[in-house]
Amino acid sequence: MADSRVLGDYGAPYVDAKAMRNPQTQLAAAKFNRLAEDNAHFSRSSLRVTVDFLTSTSGSLPFTIATADIHVDGHWGSGDSQKPTIQKTATGLYTITFATSYTDALLTVQTVSFLRGTAAVMTNTNDVDEAKVKTIAANVVTLAVFRAAALSDLGGTGVVSVFLR
């Protein structure tokens, strides 16, 4: 569900041609219309994906974060094939690149294009750590990570969470 939906995208609203005879095997038009409208609401307001990754201090630049250090939960799934590529491009600067599209369970190609995002940091220090989404261009997100207002990789032990819509 990469794009926002409206009720008409589901062909609704529907009207029952005949009275429903068996609620166990038939779906009333009013019930389907409610499901479709609720789903359309969800498509307009929900996060598309959440990505967590471990920062890194190692490697020459650009450095690609290991797949094992990335966790993803998204509309299109949470497996390794749904994980983005994350590259550290400089100290505290990361680029997150998702596939341009995914094929859903109904074999429909869904385009990946984010509108906005936020980020947070989880560390076990008392430092002032934060992350900020700098830019979003369709399926590519640039991110800055800070410790005490300076770009930082948090010693390679910080987990950055990115929430994209």
Q: Which two tokens stand for residue 111?
A: 């385009």
What is the pLDDT, as a whole number, of residue 4? 74
What is the pLDDT, as a whole number, of residue 137? 96
Q: Which two tokens stand for residue 90?
A: 């400089």
User: Could you tell me if 146 and 92 are in contact, meaning their C-beta atoms sit under 8 angstroms apart?
Assistant: yes
Task: State the Cα–Cα distance between residues 29 and 21, nearest whole angstrom.
Answer: 13
Task: State the pTM of this model.
Answer: 0.81
What is the pLDDT, as a whole number, of residue 2? 58
DSSP secondary structure of 86-152: EEEEETTEEEEE--SEEE-TTS-EEE-----EEEEEE-SSSS-EEEEEEEEETTEEEEEEEETTEE-
What is the pLDDT, as a whole number, of residue 49? 93
13 Cβ contact list (under 8 Å, min separation 6):
7, 29, 33
User: Could you tell me if 118 and 163 are in contact, meaning their C-beta atoms sit under 8 angstroms apart?
Assistant: yes
Task: State the Cα–Cα distance between residues 28 and 15, nearest whole angstrom.
Answer: 8
Per-residue pLDDT of the chain (165 residues; tens, 9 = 90+): 556 778 888 888 989 998 888 888 888 888 888 888 887 777 767 788 999 999 999 878 999 999 999 999 988 888 998 999 999 999 999 999 999 998 877 788 888 999 999 999 998 888 889 999 999 999 999 999 999 999 999 999 999 999 999
Q: Where are the domains of the chain?
A: 7-45, 49-164
What is the pLDDT, as a whole number, of residue 90? 96
User: Could you tell me if 117 and 141 are in contact, meaning their C-beta atoms sit under 8 angstroms apart?
Assistant: yes
